[in-house]
Amino acid sequence: MSGTLARTSADGSQDGAAASKQGRPAWLTPVNMVIIITTLVALGLRLYYQYTRPGFLTGVTEYDDGPYFGSAVRLVHGSLPYRDFVLVQPPGITLLMSPVGLLTYLTGTAYGLAIGRVLTVLAGTAAVALAGLLVRHRGILAVLLTCGIMAVYSDAVAAAHTVLVEPWLVLFCLIGLVAVFDGDRLTASTKRMVWGGVAFGFAGAVEAWAIVPVLVVAALCLPQLRRAAVFVGGVAAGFLIPVLPFAIASPSQLYKSLITAQVGYRAHAARVGVLLRLKNIIGFPGTLSWSKGEVLLAVLAIVVFVLATEVAAALVTRRPQPPLDWFATVTTVLVILMFLWPPQFHYHFAAFLAPFLALTIALPVSRLFTDVPEGTVSTASKRQLTWSAVGVAGAVLLVLAVLQGRFESTVPRVIGPIPARIDAIIPPGACVVTDQVSVTLAANRFVSNVPGCPQMVDSLGTTLALSDGLKPETGAGNVPKVAAFWSQTFSHAQYLILTATNTRRIAWTPALVAYLDQDFVQVYRSPRKLLVYVRKGLHVG
């Protein structure tokens, strides 16, 4: 009824019938076993980051996880994002982390951040299983390639190491895809189309990039305008329900946070090189040394491989590319263009590409080997070709998995464990200002009981929002609003913790430097150059 062709899986069984005849549980098919195994591999690689590096789980490894998790802690303590502090992402990640934020009343923020990191690992892992469910109707080869690529894709593994938005964005996009696709085609079920749209809408409330797959799905709905309207309605509900309350509370600050600070114009912005972007996009371990020629050759090889398999699949199967394949190809191209266009790019961006790139590679290969028309080759030959392809793909993916475990990640070890000395210097509940709140989160000094203590969670984002896109190095300190903000922030602080990169985030002016020298004294410098200042006259532990 859905228009999806029933097909025999690559192992020769239809669903669980053959498994039952052989005395196995109906669910224990080769396809399901591949989903389970690749999901476990994905989990193992992602946990590797947390448990094989001393202090990694509770230490400081990133800047962005501070604003994302810190915003949830602020929210459960009564402060609203956008109204009371700048947050440069939609509120989806704040809402997702809020239950963990509540736990911090019992665990403290350091263990709360660790719990958030483990949940992000699970989100990244669950996405692999969902991708397998999306393509399981295409047989074992499609599942192995799709799940395997997602499991070992370098930046997807790296992005799951802490509370970043990309693993959650991918998770909800895949929930939406599983709902709206029935096999190779869009579902005829209105209920599934609505709920799929809701999942995509919430993905947009996590990160606006979800608009790319949303537009492609909406285009595939045409010319059936009613189905497109149902999907778009679900997307609108999934996005507006979590976002609208914050927009109503502070519409102008929401605009400045999400548009001005995040996607708006940035004067004199340094452009990230295209070769670095391409190296991340192709998904190989981040610290492998690649020359310019090797990167370009690898990109060319992948492009030629995808085009060749798509053309060959169309010729061999004598059928046009199905809607699911079109979705994957178009979305992959659009996401890559989106990553190549703006000046800004970070390693974890590419994690969003992982499922679409995996589908683009896997689906035409599976069609080429498993959708050969009856009578063209014998069933035995078809099965032998499929299992040969499965063996080759499995071997390649195994090598990539080993490389992921052998080479260091692309994630910079920014600071690492918080020195115990900071616990002794700064009492709990003190008002601490820092340029990187992941430091105060990991030190359990993020929450203050001092009236009027600044609620800032993102020092750079705040500077960008107040200066209409300027950074400290591009003149933000000359903007009166920025200078006034940092002067007021320092005037309320009892303690300061500054990282070695604080000049990238704090708009230092001669007046602010003079205030620091006059009212604060440096009392500690950690081996990784954390500087701790205390207001003169306060007791130091």
How close are the terminal C-alpha atoms of the chain, in Å? Answer: 73
How far, in Å, CA of 177 to CA of 217, rounded?
A: 9
pLDDT tens track for 182-230: 999 999 999 999 999 999 999 999 999 999 999 999 999 998 999 999 9
Give tens-digit pLDDT for 383-395.
777 777 888 888 8
| Residue 121 · residue 111 · CB < 8 Å | no
DSSP string, 74-103: HHHTTPPBTTTB--SS-THHHHHHHHHHHH
The model's confidence at residue 288, banded by pLDDT at 50, 70 and 90, is low
Tens of pLDDT, residue by residue over 142-167, are 999 999 999 999 999 999 999 999 99
| 9 has a pLDDT exceeding 50 | no
Least-confidence region, from 84-98, 410-424, 456-470, 501-515: 410-424
Considering the chain, what percentage of its residues have pLDDT values greater than 90?
68
The overall longest dimension of the chain from CA atoms, in Å, is 89
pLDDT score of 258: 86
CB 351, CB 159: distance < 8 Å: yes
Q: pLDDT per residue over 407-425, tens digit each?
A: 555 455 568 889 889 999 9
Q: What angle do CA 97, 206, 224 make, to 5 degrees?
A: 140
Nearest C-alpha neighbor of 408 from the set 107, 48, 8 = 48
Question: Which pLDDT band holds residue 1 (cuts at 50, 70, 90)?
Answer: very low
DSSP-derived 3-state class of residue 446: coil
Task: Provide the pLDDT for residue 8.
Answer: 43
**501 falls in which pLDDT band (50, 70, 90)?**
very high
Q: Which helix (H) or strand (E) holds 390?
A: helix 379-406
Residue 285 has pLDDT above 70, yes or no: no
Q: Which of the two residues, 418 and 403, has the higher pLDDT score?
A: 418
Predicted model pTM: 0.92
Which two three-digit tokens encode residue 499? 């990282």
| Mean pLDDT, range 438-459, rounded to an integer | 96
Query: How do the domains of the chain map onto residue ranges?
Result: 29-406, 420-535
Six-digit token string for 331: 């979305």
Q: Could you tell me how many helices (H) and strands (E) the chain has, helices first?
A: 22, 6
6, pLDDT greater than 60: no
